[in-house]
Every structure is written in structure tokens, then in C-alpha cells.
Amino acid sequence: MSSELSRGSWGPPSKGTTVFACMSGGVDSSVAARLLLEQGYDVKPIFMRNWDTLDEQSGSGGCEWERDWDDVERICREHLGNVKPELVDLSREYWTNVFEPALEEWAAGVTPNPDVTCNQHIKFRILPERLLSRSPDAWIATGHYARLRPSALDPSRPALYRGANIRKDQSHYLSTSPIGALERTLFPLGDFTSKDAVRDLAKEWGMHTGEKKDSMGICFVGVRKGFSGFLDSYLPPSPGDIVNDAGKVVGRHDGLWKYTVGERARISGLPEAVFVGKKDAERNTIIVVPKSQVAHDHLPISDLLLAFRSPVLRCTSLSSSDFVWTSPSHPPPEIASPDGFQAEAQIRSLPAGALSSCRVVQRNGNGALQIQLDEPLVGVSPGQTVALYRGDWCLGGGSIKFTQTLADISHS
């Protein structure tokens, strides 16, 4: 998508500019839209319908998009000058670009992130193309906790930065989004340092969404059956062995997608709890490690992921073959050197807001990256998104293709 922005320093548009405010029915997008109105923009609320209830195999409810749509209509009526929101149906595009590819990855035993893919292909590609084709001078706005600033490499273009609220930062989810769309995007919540401040503002304005709980998990997964039950409706059973780190069979599984690296595997008859260490798609096998292989036995179950010392779980390096640089001036030239360049990585397995130091090398001419972690991480799995940073500056992101653990090194 081309932009007709002036070639001066990138910055927000002037007052009166049309801004399509993406609204989900939650507190974040409600406050973001109201802030835009307060700042003098011509706010056009947009509600994306990404999931067709008729396709919902997990029972009625699914995304509960009708309820969210009602919330959007109420916010627009009571707090945005009684403007009528527009419902944009992108369910077919979502199915093709997000859901079907994710199904293929789940079936193969990897762990995709549909939220990242949705931002990359739907919210920041297909939606802007549709909206800006009819309003070429308009901008887009969302309730993401992220920031855009003039790039140090090219001030006429924006660079993506972490939100001021590091624990709520969502730049990781935007790391693969097209820079062409980000050039025409506003993140009104980027400078908020706490979610409480956003909720307090919503309550001050009398917004009913100020009391609404944050949405959790993937939107299309119904509550009644949960994630595993939902996928059972789309993927046929694919049974295989569950083995311990010595190769002994300790159980059976019905499909690799039912298990996540680093999470507890509930297998009856074992002397102690075990956790998923690795999923071997080639052999359709899950490798588990015992709870005793942790650094501190007194840690609660929720903290075990941070303390595992099992070499099967401790990832030392990873590769990405589809990495997207958020700046056209990237990658840095030193990436082609034998030593690569130093950066910081964010992966879903890390605590909220945490980054891990790493060294990045481009291994061949097609853009594939090898990322060597300075310290091993646990819970890293193919399919997850890795985003690279220098400080708060997000350099880009890509999906993890392969991982190498301490166990792999010892066997090589």
C-alpha cells in the first residue's frame, strides 16, 4: 500500500483528518476512539467481524461478536457523538489467511500465533486496503499498547516501539505488520503507563466498557469446549506415543496440537508430574520431562517454566525463515558478517515485557535468520513468533522454524 505522506518527518495527521477507529467492544478500543475525538479527529468507528458464527463448531457463542457489536454501538451512541459504526465482514479473508494456515500448523505439531497473523494480513493489510481505497487521506487507529515514532534511519517513516506500559506492550503482536499500513496508523494508548489509567479514564467518562473484562485467548475458540475440544472439530485424531527423556513409552496422545511445550502433561500412573519437553512431528511423538528436573523444588507449578534445568527444554538457538523487518532500511549491514549483530528477542514463553539478549546472523541469501540466545530459554516452540528489539525499538518479527536445545547439542 503506497502512502502520499510528505517526505518530512513522520508524525500524526492534522486535526479534522478522518480516522477509522478499529473497535472491538472492549475498554481499550473504546478509550482510544474517545481520545481521537477529544484530539479533534473525524472519527469513523469500524468493527471487524472476523469469525462467522455459522462456522463455529464449538457451540453457540464462539466469538460472541454480536455482544461485542452491541457494546460498540452503545459506546458510539453515548460517547462518540451518536455516530453510527460500520461493520466490516472479513470472516472469509480471516478463514483463508489466518485460520486455515493455523490449522495446518497445529496439525503439524507447531504452535502458531493467530493474533500476529491477523494483524499482519487482516487488520494491517486487507482492512486498510479496503478503507483507504475509498478515503485515500484517512488514517487507521487501534487500541494497541505500542508506539510509533519517526525512524532514526529515515525520519519520513515511522519506527515501531514498545508501549510505555511494558507489561501490556503489544509491539510483539505487530512485529510482522506491513510498514506501509503503520505509516497511516495511530496508537492512542501507546503512552499510557498502566491499564488502570485506561480503565479509570473510561469510568470517568461513564463508559460501561470500563468494567468489562479483558478478552483472553483466541477469539474463535468457544468457552464450552475450550481450545483442544475446538480443534477436535477440525482435525482428525492423530494418535502417537508419549515418551520420557530416556525414550520409554509412558502414555499415548490423540494429537500433537493438544500439548504445548513447557506445559504440564497430565498422564496417570506416573510417580511425579511431567511436562512437555518437545514435540517430534516426524515421529508423531511427545517427549516429557519430570518435575524433579527443576532448579528449585519449592516453586509453585505456575513458576516451573522459568526454572527447568532439563536440557530438553532449554533452547539455545532458533531460526526464522520468514522474518519481516519493520523498516525498509533494515536489516542492519552487520547481519551478513560472521558474528552478526547483537539484539534482544521477545518470545511468548518469556514473562510479560521480558526480553532476552541474542546474536542474529543471516545464514543465506533468502533472508533466513539464525538467532543465538545468550542464555537458554524454556518453552520455545516452532510456530511461535520471535520479535527482535534494540532497546524499545522493534526491528521486526517472524515465526520460529527450528529450535536447538542443550539436549540437541549433547547428541550432536
Residue with cell 479509570: 200
User: What does the alpha-carbon distance between residue 375 and residue 387 come to, in Å, rounded to a whole number?
Assistant: 17
**Calpha distance 167→179 (Å, rounded):** 24
CB within 8 Å of 154: residues ≥ 6 apart = 327, 328, 329
**Could you tell me the three cell numbers for 212?**
468489562
Contact 3, 180 (CB under 8 A): yes
Q: Residue type for 18, please?
A: T
**Cell numbers at residue 32, please?**
482510544
42-49 and 18-22 beta bridge pairing: parallel
Residues designated as active site: 118, 219
Residue 226 contacts by C-beta under 8 Å, 6 or more apart in sequence?
Answer: none
Distances, alpha carbon 352 to alpha carbons 154, 166, 169, 170, in Å: 30, 8, 8, 10
Pick the closest to residue 157 from 318, 356, 327, 272 (CA basis): 327
Relative to beta strand 240-244, strand 285-290 is parallel
Query: What is the Cα–Cα distance from 378 to 375, expressed in whole angstroms?
Result: 10
β-pairing verdict for 274-280 and 264-265: antiparallel
CA-wise closest residue to 143 among 235, 29, 226: 29
